[in-house]
Chains A and B, each alone.
Chain A
């Protein structure tokens, strides 16, 4: 039987940037884009297995699609203990949502300050070219500064939504392999 590695993926960002749309598209393999906006209260929980290429192993992603509205923050942070990875989403047409990213990153990292974990910065709504305010350069710079990997996507056009998830799954799998090598080294 192949190994199943489990990861807790915290998805954060301001309200309305498209966190739920991204998560629902990814878990439904692109078949479900929520056409109407519903405000997430607390956190929505989803599971999606990701098979790691060239192996038989799977990373099971337990996703916590967290409410972006500030009034839920205290409540939603209670779900964040032992995070394995994070996805920080912003809307390229909203400067405010972009400048909130650092705050979100800090909040998730404060859960496990001693343990590094992989993360992705996702610029959503790139289909709205005319209204775009936050360019790729600013996004990449923030990602670099905060130690995340930068991705652009459009949930509406189903473009590039899965990529950050696959990236994180494979990073986490690598971490597991590194640890196993370390465990072995102690008794070799």
Chain B
């Protein structure tokens, strides 16, 4: 099992609802802990990660800040509608990023959509998202 959401491994962010050039969404999948994506105001905010092929997701780890309600959705190919995988309300954190692990229940996915439905402040940051799982044989 390895991290499927890495730009080095070919994963791409194909949509993000905020983009400050200094803190682009690609920062979430660059494998580094010290770079991040910022949301630029208003809710909801979302981004979509596209994997190189169909994958089976075991767990998703996200490191973020100021996020309150979080929703994850997957679609198994580009023509399919997204289905909800998990919905969570995160606890606020004062002095360190929030860290959350979500079970993927081995769902098959080509695209992963992460929706930040609300936050503890006007602006949120997502430092890193790791998707552990395996490539599916098609």
Q: Which A residues are closer than 8 A to B by beta carbons?
A: 1-8, 57, 62, 82, 84, 114-115, 117, 172, 175-176, 179-180, 182-183, 186-188
Instruction: Give complex CA distance A107, B21 in Å.
Output: 36
Within 40-88 of B, Cβ neighbours of A (below 8 Å) are at 40-43, 65-66
A180–B39 CA distance with the chains assembled, in angstroms: 10
Chain B residues with CB under 8 A of A186: 65, 95-97
| B65 adjacent to A3 (CB under 8 Å) | no
CA distance A1 to B30 in the complex (A): 20
Given known A2-B21, A82-B118, contact A187–B127 (CB-CB < 8 A): yes
Closest CB pairs A-B (n = 10): A3-B20, A187-B34, A6-B41, A183-B125, A179-B123, A6-B42, A5-B40, A5-B41, A82-B43, A1-B21
Q: A179 and B121 in contact (CB under 8 A), knowing A1-B19, A187-B33?
A: yes
Query: What's the Cα separation between A136 and B123 when bound, in Å?
Result: 35
How many residues in B have their beta carbons less than 8 Å from beta carbons of A? 27
Encode B6-43 as 1/0 by CB contact (under 8 A) with A.
00000000000011111100000000011110101111
Q: Is the Cβ of A172 less than 8 Å from the Cβ of B41?
A: yes
Measured in the bound complex, the distance between the Cα atoms of B18 and A5 in whole Å is 8
Chain B residues near A172 (CB-CB < 8 A) = 41, 122
Tell me if B120 counts as interface (CB < 8 A to partner A): yes
Closest Cβ neighbor of A2 among chain B residues? B21
Q: In the complex, which residue of chain B has the Cβ closest to the Cβ of A82? A: B43
Is A7 touching B41 in the complex (CB atoms < 8 A)?
yes
List 25 contacting pairs A-B, 8 Å CB cutoff, sorted by A: A1-B19, A2-B21, A3-B19, A4-B19, A4-B40, A5-B20, A6-B40, A6-B42, A62-B42, A114-B120, A115-B120, A115-B121, A115-B122, A172-B122, A175-B123, A176-B122, A179-B122, A179-B123, A180-B123, A182-B65, A183-B65, A186-B96, A186-B97, A187-B34, A187-B127
Residues of chain A within 8 A of B42, CB atoms compared: 6-8, 62, 82, 84
In the bound complex, residues from chain A placing their C-beta under 8 Å from that of B22 are 3, 180
A3 touches B21 (CB 8 A): yes
